Amino acid sequence: MDAYLGFLPVCIVLVFAIPTLFMYAWTINTAFADGLPWADLRNEAFKTTRASLRQVFNCKMVLQDAYTKFSKKGQPFVVSDSSFQPQIMLPREYIKWLTAQPEAVLSIWPIRSKRRALGAMMSTVDHKTTIAFLDKIVGRFLTSNLGNVQADVSDEMGASVDAALGFDEERWHEVNLMQTFKKIGDRTGVRALFGLELCRDQHFLRVLGHYNTLMGIGILLSGHLPPIIRPIGALLLVLPFQFCKARFKNLLTPVIKERMQQVACEPDDATLEAKSQDFLTQSVRVIMKDKRNACQSAGYVADQFLVLSFATLASTSLVASNLFLDIISSAPSLFAYELLRSEAAKIFESERDWADPVALKKLVLTDSAIRESLRLSSIQTRGFLRAVVSPDGLTLPNGTHVPQGTWLGVPVQAVHMDGSLYDEPYEYNPVRFAKMRSAGYEKVDATDTSDTFLGWSYGRYACPGRWFAVQNLKLMIAYITLNYEIQPIGKRPESVVFGDANVPSMSTCIKVRRRKRT
């Protein structure tokens, strides 16, 4: 009886919620896209509601089918969404047009507030100010100084990988893929962001991990909830997140105050070697040199680094997990793991090479393997979401006029699987882009963006931290392949699809052992 009573509240919620959702679906505006075909809209009762709910787990398949049916012919199409906010998916040929539209016509901010739930999750932060801050700090300054932190990152990469994978050269042992790469990514990321002391502080890493996890869950779930139940769902997600956020900020603020004092006491003629090179300290230097920002408090800087920490670290475990899954499940005839190890052995002949930015540029095959994984195993099924904010609406290149409030986007993963753009698009070929480079193709580095490669987005909102991410991934591949063996797997485990997200299964495990030195 107690067990039944435990399910009673859930049953009551379902009894009221399900009919409410179906009734709410009658309010979905389908007239905004007159003349455009709808994906997966079947001839059935409550067809828009059911199509919207199917998007929770079927988004990847629906977008791929619709891309083949419509986008390949240059035709935009409408796709339902679990948030009951239908979206128009544009053909690849429209991407440059889409990204060229002014902010007063097509804006990313309604998407970040509603779809990414930043309005609820980070309500105390002015998001436009924060993005401007991050663009200046990350996009214009830190990226050009990545070489200054490479020695620290490579040092922490070795220490964190060894701690996660162990030293046993005889026995294979099993590790959880996502958890392992999260530990490695968090430690190396914190070393670059905040320095040596914090990256070895287990309490700090634990609080940071909880913060990033709850932030990710909140962004993923809240943005996929229908508006009628979003306030309740958001409240349940935001309350524990705000607690973790406050704990993280309380740990970070005193550190920032200390760095501000250190920078204020630095002599003007201090050498580069004498200065701390972690991103936080570099950022404090930039802020204090800028008269407009010099008066900003440690709390303000902490708020910016709350956002930066999530943006920098949250996707690392996903991308790294996908990358190694792709490598160890690739066709045996490709010898992917062995090729990457051989390249690393030629480049990293001494300890000094690990701190040399030039060495990373020589990792051509590794660079290609990273880009290929980003192509094949995109962590988003669709992207480039923008909202029409002009009161006059917007006319698409094919002449279709859409009103204010319409959401536009691109089926990112379907573009990456287009056989007219990539030979054997469903196969992982680690040397694909290395061969294209040899053939004279331009913009095929792992950090390059184009309208055929959307792993980092494209245009003015392309990921500003991609150079740092690729630096980490190159060092990770080199260190692991040189020092560890990983058992190949015959078939890559299926990714988990939830709405826009396409991520590795959290239960996936791999077998590793320390490589014997001869």
Helical pair 279-289 and 230-265, crossing angle rounded to 10 deg: 70
Distance of alpha carbon 190 from alpha carbon 208, whole angstroms: 9
**For residues 247 and 81, what is the distance between their CA atoms, to the nearest angstrom?**
34
The tokens of 19 are what?
């009919």
DSSP bridge partners of 218 = none
Where b means 16+ CB within 10 Å and e means fewer, 374-400 reads bbbbbbbbbbbbbbbbeeeebebeeee
Angle between helical axes of 466-483 and 364-376 (0-180°, round to 10): 110
Which of 392, 447, 415 has the alpha carbon at shortest distance from 101?
A: 392
Residue with tokens 């991410």: 469
> Reduced to 3 states, what is the DSSP secondary structure of residue 177?
helix
Quote the DSSP letter at residue 295: T
Kindly give, in sequence order, each residue whose CB lies less than 8 Å from that of residue 490, ignoring residues fewer than 6 positions away.
329
Kindly tell me the burial class for residue 471, based on how many C-beta atoms sit within 10 Å of its own C-beta (0-12, 13-18, 19 or more). Answer: buried
265 is in an annotated binding site: no
Tell me, letter by letter, the H, E, C secondary structure of 131-166.
HHHHHHHHHHHHHHHHHHHHHHHHHHHHHHHHHHHC
Contact (CB, 8 A) for 29 and 81:
no
- Helix, strand, or coil (residue 175): strand
Helix, strand counts (H, E) of the chain: 20, 13
Cite the annotated binding site by residue number.
463
Cite the annotated binding site for heme by residue number.
463
